[in-house]
Amino acid sequence: MMELDDSQLERYARHVVLPEIDEEGQLKLLGSRVLVIGAGGLGSPLLLYLAAAGVGHIGVVDDDVVDLSNLQRQVVHDTTRVGSPKVESARARLKEVNPEVVLEPHHTRLTPANALDLIGDYDLVADGSDNFATRYLVNDASYLAGRPLVSAAIMRFDGQLSVFRAHQGHGEDGKANPCYRCLFGEQPPGDPKQSCADVGVLGALAGAIGSLQAIEVVKELLGIGRSMSGRLMLYDALESSFRTVKVSADPDCPLCGENPRIRQLGDVDYGLAEAVCAAE
Ligand code: ZN
């Protein structure tokens, strides 16, 4: 069996000392491949914590460049990188955080044409995208590729987080695992008048929810603790309150239900061109 070398034992000492992780779990993290959708508000803490944790191979999909208005919450980027592709900015920062980790930049937009190939190359997907079209596409592609999805969203002062494992059928409690569509139903129609810049968000909210998302990614990779599949966490920053609600699979879900209509990504018009800003 492989072992951690001396410098790894030191770098990851606070993980290795946890019986739930130990040297074996740390080696598992080093051998894991995670795809992060979006290097924005949620992607920033997510990428930083996954790299620091020693998740060995991290892919990141984002077609955008760093804008000055991003820096209020997108802490993986800094002022010197305004105008650079976000995936390159993130790669440079993560190399400083942990040179052991490989960051694979995908400077492109996730589309029905590339989603299955991209997602199929990783063990798990973490969605921090900023629009509904991409969220539905990530859900469908993760389900069809058979990959667990850790999904988070933020808007204004509210955050939400869940894990989707519908491709695996039933969870440990014997209940069917829901997918994103089971919870949120039909994709909202595009509204070209609303742009992402119109929607405000408290900067530190991205840090809070993106960090919780990183925790769930590590739990899913290691299979420790209680999975958030079948549960949705809601955070209200103005109320300073967390709420976790149970969510169930929809037997009529067009993707994971009993009579699925979506059998391939080409079956859906995601409307990526007029994507509505959801959150990130
Ligand atoms: Zn479903």
* Separation of CA 153 and ligand 1 centre (Å): 18
What's the pLDDT tens digit per position in 68-100? 999 999 999 999 999 999 999 999 999 999 999
What's the pLDDT tens digit per position in 175-234? 899 999 999 998 887 655 555 566 899 999 999 999 999 999 999 999 999 999 999 999
Terminal CA-CA length for the chain: 40
* Degrees to nearest 5, angle at CA 217 with 276 and 52: 105
Kindly calculate the radius of gyration of the chain based on its CA atoms and give it in whole angstroms.
18
* Separation of CA 72 and ligand 1 centre (Å): 35
Confirm whether 65 is domain-assigned: yes
pTM for the whole thing? Answer: 0.95
What's the pLDDT tens digit per position in 224-272? 999 999 999 999 999 999 999 999 999 999 999 999 999 999 999 998 8
* Separation of CA 15 and ligand 1 centre (Å): 35
Q: Which domain holds residue 115?
A: 31-274
* Separation of CA 43 and ligand 1 centre (Å): 24
Residue located via tokens 């991205």: 206
d(CA 280, CA 272): 16
* Separation of CA 244 and ligand 1 centre (Å): 19
Read off the CATH number of the domain in which 108 is found. Answer: 3.40.50.720
* Separation of CA 228 and ligand 1 centre (Å): 15
Q: Judge contact between 189 and 136, C-beta under 8 A.
A: no
Res 169: pLDDT: 84
* Separation of CA 118 and ligand 1 centre (Å): 21
Residue located via tokens 């900067």: 203
* Separation of CA 183 and ligand 1 centre (Å): 7
Looking at residues 14-26, what average pLDDT do you find? Answer: 98
Confirm whether 70 is domain-assigned: yes
Q: Judge contact between 49 and 211, C-beta under 8 A.
A: yes
Residues with CB under 5 A from ligand 1 (ion): 179, 181-182, 253, 255-256
Q: Lay out the sheet containing 57-61: strands in order across.
A: 102-106, 57-61, 33-37, 124-127, 149-155, 158-164, 231-236, 241-246
* Separation of CA 136 and ligand 1 centre (Å): 11
Where b means 16+ CB within 10 Å and e means fewer, 78-114 reads: eeebeeebbbbbbbebbeebbeebebbbbeebbbbee
* Separation of CA 216 and ligand 1 centre (Å): 20
Q: Which of 159-163, 169-173, 199-203, 216-220 is least confident?
A: 169-173
Confirm whether 92 is domain-assigned: yes
Looking at residues 98-104, what average pLDDT do you find? Answer: 98
* Separation of CA 257 and ligand 1 centre (Å): 6
Res 175: pLDDT: 86
* Separation of CA 68 and ligand 1 centre (Å): 38
* Separation of CA 3 and ligand 1 centre (Å): 40
* Separation of CA 105 and ligand 1 centre (Å): 30
User: Residue 280: pLDDT above 80?
Assistant: no
Confirm whether 197 is domain-assigned: yes
Confirm whether 199 is domain-assigned: yes
Q: Judge contact between 167 and 124, C-beta under 8 A.
A: no
Q: Please spell the DSSP secondary structure of the chain, one letter per residue.
A: -----HHHHHHTHHHHTSTTTHHHHHHHHHT-EEEEE-SSTTHHHHHHHHHHTT-SEEEEE---B--GGGTTT-TTS-GGGTTSBHHHHHHHHHHHH-TTSEEEEE-S---TTTHHHHHHTSSEEEE--SBHHHHHHHHHHHHHHT--EEEEEEEBTEEEEEEE-GGG-B-TTSSBPP-HHHHH-SPPPP-TT--GGGS-B-HHHHHHHHHHHHHHHHHHHHT-S---BTEEEEEETTTTEEEEEE----TT-TTTSSS-S-SSGGG----GGGPPB---
Q: How many domains does the chain have?
A: 1
* Separation of CA 31 and ligand 1 centre (Å): 30
Q: Judge contact between 210 and 43, C-beta under 8 A.
A: yes
* Separation of CA 188 and ligand 1 centre (Å): 16
d(CA 212, CA 11): 22
